[in-house]
Structure 1
Amino acid sequence: MSPTAAHLTGEKTLTILHFNDVYNVESVNTEPVGGAARFCTAFKSFSHLHPLVLFSGDVFAPSFMSTFTKGEQMVPVLNALNIQCAVYGNHDFDFGIDVLKQRVEATTFPWLMSNVIDNETRRPLADGKCSLVSDWHGTRIGLVGLVEKEWLDTLSAVDPEHVTYTDYVECGRLLARNLKDIQGCRTVIALTHMRTPNDLRLAKEVEEIDLILGGHDHVSEFIEVENRCIIKSGTDFRQFSEITMRFSDEKEKPSISVRLMDVTSQYDEDVDLKKVLDGFTGVIGEKMEEVLGEFTVPLDSLFASVRTSETNLGNFICDIMVAATDSDLALLNSGTLRSDKIHPPGPFKIRDLSQILPMLDPLIVVEISGEDLLAALENGVCMYPKLVGRFLQVGGMSFAFDPTKPPLQRVDPRFVRIGDQYLELKTKYRLVTKAYMMAGKNGFDVMKRQKILVDEEDSLPLNCVVQNHFQAIQKLLRRHSLARTIESELHPDGIIQTAIPETVSIRLRRCSTIEAPNEAQKTKQRSPKLRRQSSMEEVEKASCKLEPRIEGRIVVLNEETLVHLMSEREAWQKSVAGTIRKSSEN
């Protein structure tokens, strides 16, 4: 419809550009390649439509660059996009409220946090705004910013007891009515940072909100519910949404259409923004290109995989955690794994590792009973199949769960194995996990009462442990190469095999092993019959090919898997009985 025709019929058109969850300013190697500078060019191509630019949170962290800059590199990006309003995301709080306030003060637009109040200041958390009214080219628009309690409880920098949370439906309804009835807004848009099921509930229960622009889920989706729309716009500067709202005098609700835009290599990089970003990337770019190792298989870090199932990447990292800390088992919340992509076979760089593990997550070793371990596993699968970060990746163990059963009743204790032994509720196990989980985050309250054997001060961040593991592999490979060279010179026929000196093996393991303090070593209490997990040297040898696999550590129970697991347990029981019988005979 032409502008003249629209004017005669009383129709108004509003163009919105929306994006969410952006972490890495660099482009990737596959289409859509994205990149912040190219993203800026794509946005500028819509400037003739005078778009309302809205953002749904998560920008200042996590990323490898942010570990150096604390998100400062994102400020010029945000300001270049001509954003009118944003809502906070959970990762915007990763460096604490004070740092977040510094970043926000440097931006040129308001941030919303409608339903979380700081108890000390009695204002929205991090000095956000409760709501916003914008008269945008003749259309009066109301904006609210709503978040879910689930991620609020996971913030390491915010104590839940220091804030007051209001349910997003209750708050959204109250604010939307005020914006429409009192402040005369033609439409109300909710910027949200929460999972899709919560966005669906908001759409179903708050009719005063016309459009929900969400984040938190790294997906592109368009859902219509009760004559309202939910839109999420991809992730990481690779996609955004062009949304058209049409208002007619004859209709109370606007009509809404959306077009998902891919940021491909056809867009040139914005020269001015790229120059600014090069100032950040140049400092660490050389370091990020360092090759750590080479994988012969793809590594699956997709959120849809790591947050619902066992993955080869999760197994690889958890095995390193176990070996580096001489533990029985490892539990890792899948929200730790951040790259949300398939890493192809071939050279694996620090850049890849930084995308997977962007945060400096200290490891902690604790003593945990079988009973509490079972409770932790239950929490890990209680929200399955939602894509939540509490879903676990594990090392040194396996378990099975039935998603058809009620939450916290899904894990079958009969099929939990630690090493080659089945779980005993009263047995104490040596568990390695993250400080984040030990603080009770992601619902792991049971972790807070465990006895600490190795604390943060005596530990290393997870990404450092993984880097040390790669370095140990390289040392092992160089030693093997030297041994083969010497052998070929001394024994051309290759008959004599060269052994690895034990002292060298010990030094190698120490390169990537976290030593426990003497006091902690004294307090270790394990079942005497528990088979030790692989040593660091064994893991290194097995990892020289770098081809981690899925091994059946996390099994969804059904008729077929139940029969298989029962058969395994019966065979184990017969083996144990035979061992006991032979022992008694001797």
Structure 2
Amino acid sequence: MLRAGGIVLGGSLVSGSATAAGGDGSTTLTLLSYNDIQTAAAEDKKFPRLVTLIEQRRAAADGPVVVVGGGDEVGPHALSPISQWRAPVDVLNKVGPDADVIGNHEFDYGFDAISNVTEDSEFPWLATNLVDSETGEAFDGTESERIVERGGVKVGLIGLADEGATTGKTNIDFEAEGVTIEDFTETGPAEAKRLKEEEDVDAVVALAHTGIDDAENLAEADADDDIDVVVVGDDEQFYPPEAVDGSIISEARARAAYLSEIELTIEGGEVTAFDGQLIEVTDDIEKDPTASSIINDYRADVGLDEVIVEAETPLDATFGSNYHRETGYGNLITDAMRDRAEADVAITNAGGIRSDSVYGPGEITGGDIFNTLPFPNTLVTVELTGEELVETLASQIVTLESGTGQDLGEEISQQTSGVRFEWVPHEGVDEQIRDVRVGGEPLDPDGTYDVAVNSFMANGGSGYPLEDKPVIEATDELLVTLVVDYLRERDTVAPEPEGRAQRVDRDLPDASVTVDGNGKVVTQFDAPDDVQSVADDTVAVWTPDGEHVDAEHVAFGEGDETLVVRLDDGDLADTIEDAADGDEVSLNLYAEYESSEYDHVYFERSRLNADVAATVRRRGRGASGRGRAAPPGR
């Protein structure tokens, strides 16, 4: 019988957890696990408290204890450019885990550095399905498996990674490095069976840097249920221990926020029951002094606690925001890149913005910026044609209809500067990137543009098609350093989204209006069939320069087929004040709406767009200023 526990807050266990049985021949083995320490490794906050919690749970266990990690422990973090893997490894040596697994961020410092990571670690790093292509054995510095004997119980530990955590998230050419990535759903169960049949282990624990979905696939593929526990890393989910297809699966979120504790009843050489929970790492848990000292000594070396700027708006470094839409902080980072490179455009990948936190408003320290940009990426400027720039932007779109889109919602997956565009996150559309402007001017498909990116992207990381593009300048300047320097030059910053990347689900017909600064501008559109209602407070008209005017009045009721939008002509004229009499200015109207077709995951509503051609009249004031939608012409 498998029985599962629940969520534990405040660092204390719920009652009813399994205890070592007396006299019945059974033993309770406690398995403690963490995963994806990442940015917490550079902060004297949760990581030292996690160290204390592990020691507390070791002491409280009524039976043998095994401690393991789920990978992505040594990066990325704010100290990466200075200490690389050393700060987190030094702290983990204090913990003394029985094993950890090689994840994609263990490759942050390059393939050759893995042997340095393993050499400095006083515990083994497992890579069961990443093998030397010639020998079939573990590649340099790693181990295929580890058997731990404790309290009369033998536990077999294996380490697995999927393609998403290897070729999908690194720039490593594993084939060129002589490493074969075996199918973890085949290698894992086969090695578990071998450990039980040949090594006579009582339990097998798979450290799987795969994410929950692939961990469940692993459990399903393990037909003989030889894998008893799957400790998961990579997708950073809050996943309390749960029985799935004969295995117990658990993931402790990330960044030292939780500790997974699973109590396994071992009887007759097998796991017969379990109780498990996630224990929150809270501020009332004392910090381990050695761990704090290690982190603070590294921080002092680089002055991470120095205030460098005052932020008047929040600097949003959360994954949800930066993957799905334009953010003020993404604008700040890419503005700094474009400024330093003197480039036309700057792009940075959403995955390069870390910490999953919001900083400010208020004082911002160097450590805050290092937390959000922890990779040792440098600034690179490449030359792209307009057509290649569109291809580059389109390479990052995740459509709503895709598997990832169904799980996480449609994504733009990047932040930009110097370029404005619309993105259409759906399958089967003619253009997923459209209406592109660089420096306020329409994109020239055959023209060339200087584009600043980071070195990870320039080498083809995250699927960017840049590896073979001409390099104008490849600097040794760290991305994080140039952003810090950019901020030091300013007393305050107040970055906000400004319409650089506009999401569009459906089109309205084009419209033509006259703008003379008097009265009102009214437009009327035939609405698409899936429009059920329109959110009045989201309707606005945007200029090519990123200025916008909110609608004064919106009319669209249930059963209506037309959308009527009214704007103040004076406000609209003010936003295009540089236009001369007779000029035609291309505007865009955007509106959010409830759709009968699209079921969004991240966004609250779908989004409409209409191209609006505004003819400017600086003379003859008093004209009506009215316009009506032209026939569809997209």
Asked whether the two chains share a fold, i.e. TM above 0.5, the reply is yes
Instruction: State which of 387, 390, 414 in structure 2 corresponds to 1:392.
Output: 414
Q: Which residue of 2 aligns with 1:418?
A: 438
8 Å CA contact 1:303–1:387 kept in 2: the answer is no
Deviates more, 1:234-243 or 1:99-108: 99-108
Deviation of 1:574 after TM superposition, in Å, equals 6.2
8 Å CA contact 1:84–1:110 kept in 2: the answer is yes
| Whole-angstrom distance in 2 between the partners of 1:432 and 1:551 | 20
- Per-residue CA deviation, residues 153-181 of structure 1 (Å, 9 max, x unaligned), is 24346554322111211222222222233
| Whole-angstrom distance in 2 between the partners of 1:432 and 1:269 | 41
1:395-474 map, 5 Å? 395-405=417-427, 412-444=432-464, 446-456=465-475, 460-474=477-491
Amino acid at match of 2:279: M
1:540-555 map, 5 Å? 544=492, 546-555=493-502
8 Å CA contact 1:189–1:212 kept in 2: the answer is yes
**Matching of residue 374 in structure 1 with residue 321 in structure 2:** no
1:240-389 map, 5 Å? 240-247=259-266, 254-284=272-302, 287-382=303-398, 384-385=404-405
RMSD of aligned alpha carbons = 3.3
8 Å CA contact 1:34–1:239 kept in 2: the answer is no
Q: Which residue of 2 aligns with 1:480?
A: none
- Per-residue CA deviation, residues 408-445 of structure 1 (Å, 9 max, x unaligned), is x795243444343444543332211112111112222x
Secondary structure of 1:237's match? Answer: coil
8 Å CA contact 1:329–1:394 kept in 2: the answer is yes
Q: Which residue of 2 aligns with 1:167?
A: 183
Normalised by the length of structure 1, the TM-score is 0.75
Q: Which residue of 1 aligns with 2:251?
A: 232
8 Å CA contact 1:242–1:260 kept in 2: the answer is yes
Deviation of 1:332 after TM superposition, in Å, equals 0.8
8 Å CA contact 1:402–1:410 kept in 2: the answer is no
| Whole-angstrom distance in 2 between the partners of 1:247 and 1:318 | 54
| Whole-angstrom distance in 1 between the partners of 2:19 and 2:387 | 72
| Whole-angstrom distance in 1 between the partners of 2:496 and 2:243 | 40
| Whole-angstrom distance in 2 between the partners of 1:320 and 1:273 | 34
Deviation of 1:359 after TM superposition, in Å, equals 2.6
| Whole-angstrom distance in 2 between the partners of 1:557 and 1:462 | 31
Deviation of 1:150 after TM superposition, in Å, equals 2.6
Instruction: State which of 158, 165, 177 in structure 2 corresponds to 1:144.
Output: 158
8 Å CA contact 1:131–1:144 kept in 2: the answer is yes
| Whole-angstrom distance in 2 between the partners of 1:254 and 1:574 | 74
- Per-residue CA deviation, residues 171-228 of structure 1 (Å, 9 max, x unaligned), is 2222222223333333322101233332232233234323211112233223553243
Deviates more, 1:177-186 or 1:380-389: 380-389
Secondary structure of 2:489's match? Answer: helix
Secondary structure of 1:318's match? Answer: helix
Q: Which residue of 2 aligns with 1:59?
A: 73
8 Å CA contact 1:401–1:410 kept in 2: the answer is no
Amino acid at match of 1:431: V
The structure-2 alpha-carbon separation of the partners of 1:150 and 1:374, relative to structure 1 and needing over 3 Å to count, comes to farther
Secondary structure of 2:467's match? Answer: helix
| Whole-angstrom distance in 2 between the partners of 1:461 and 1:443 | 21
| Whole-angstrom distance in 2 between the partners of 1:83 and 1:66 | 22
| Whole-angstrom distance in 1 between the partners of 2:124 and 2:254 | 21
| Whole-angstrom distance in 2 between the partners of 1:90 and 1:26 | 19
| Whole-angstrom distance in 2 between the partners of 1:86 and 1:71 | 14
Deviation of 1:146 after TM superposition, in Å, equals 0.8
Amino acid at match of 1:353: I
| Whole-angstrom distance in 2 between the partners of 1:195 and 1:241 | 15
The structure-2 alpha-carbon separation of the partners of 1:272 and 1:347, relative to structure 1 and needing over 3 Å to count, comes to closer
8 Å CA contact 2:318–2:358 kept in 1: the answer is yes
The structure-2 alpha-carbon separation of the partners of 1:425 and 1:272, relative to structure 1 and needing over 3 Å to count, comes to closer
- Per-residue CA deviation, residues 542-585 of structure 1 (Å, 9 max, x unaligned), is xx4x2211233334433489988975786466669xxxxxxxxx
The structure-2 alpha-carbon separation of the partners of 1:555 and 1:260, relative to structure 1 and needing over 3 Å to count, comes to farther
The structure-2 alpha-carbon separation of the partners of 1:370 and 1:141, relative to structure 1 and needing over 3 Å to count, comes to same
1:53-202 map, 5 Å? 53-119=67-133, 123-153=137-167, 154-156=169-171, 159-162=174-177, 163-202=179-218
| Whole-angstrom distance in 2 between the partners of 1:412 and 1:264 | 44
Secondary structure of 1:123's match? Answer: coil
- Per-residue CA deviation, residues 382-415 of structure 1 (Å, 9 max, x unaligned), is 4744679992122222344444427xx7952434
Deviation of 1:56 after TM superposition, in Å, equals 1.2
| Whole-angstrom distance in 2 between the partners of 1:301 and 1:361 | 17
| Whole-angstrom distance in 2 between the partners of 1:142 and 1:185 | 6
Deviation of 1:267 after TM superposition, in Å, equals 2.1
Q: Percent identity?
A: 26
The structure-2 alpha-carbon separation of the partners of 1:4 and 1:403, relative to structure 1 and needing over 3 Å to count, comes to closer
Runs of at least 5 residues in structure 2 that lack an aligned partner in the other structure: 1-15, 510-526, 528-538, 540-586, 591-608, 617-634
The structure-2 alpha-carbon separation of the partners of 1:447 and 1:182, relative to structure 1 and needing over 3 Å to count, comes to same
**Matching of residue 221 in structure 1 with residue 243 in structure 2:** no
8 Å CA contact 2:264–2:271 kept in 1: the answer is no
The structure-2 alpha-carbon separation of the partners of 1:234 and 1:182, relative to structure 1 and needing over 3 Å to count, comes to same
- Per-residue CA deviation, residues 482-539 of structure 1 (Å, 9 max, x unaligned), is xxxxxxxxxxxxxxxxxxxxxxxxxxxxxxxxxxxxxxxxxxxxxxxxxxxxxxxxxx
Normalised by the length of structure 2, the TM-score is 0.70
The structure-2 alpha-carbon separation of the partners of 1:387 and 1:184, relative to structure 1 and needing over 3 Å to count, comes to farther
The structure with more helix, counted as a fraction of residues: 1
- Per-residue CA deviation, residues 461-499 of structure 1 (Å, 9 max, x unaligned), is 22222122123224xxxxxxxxxxxxxxxxxxxxxxxxx
| Whole-angstrom distance in 2 between the partners of 1:63 and 1:238 | 15
Deviates more, 1:118-127 or 1:324-333: 118-127
8 Å CA contact 1:307–1:387 kept in 2: the answer is no
The structure-2 alpha-carbon separation of the partners of 1:116 and 1:341, relative to structure 1 and needing over 3 Å to count, comes to same
| Whole-angstrom distance in 1 between the partners of 2:430 and 2:164 | 20
Q: Which residue of 1 aligns with 2:517?
A: none
- Per-residue CA deviation, residues 108-147 of structure 1 (Å, 9 max, x unaligned), is 3221001112447753234211122333323332221111
The structure-2 alpha-carbon separation of the partners of 1:117 and 1:2, relative to structure 1 and needing over 3 Å to count, comes to closer
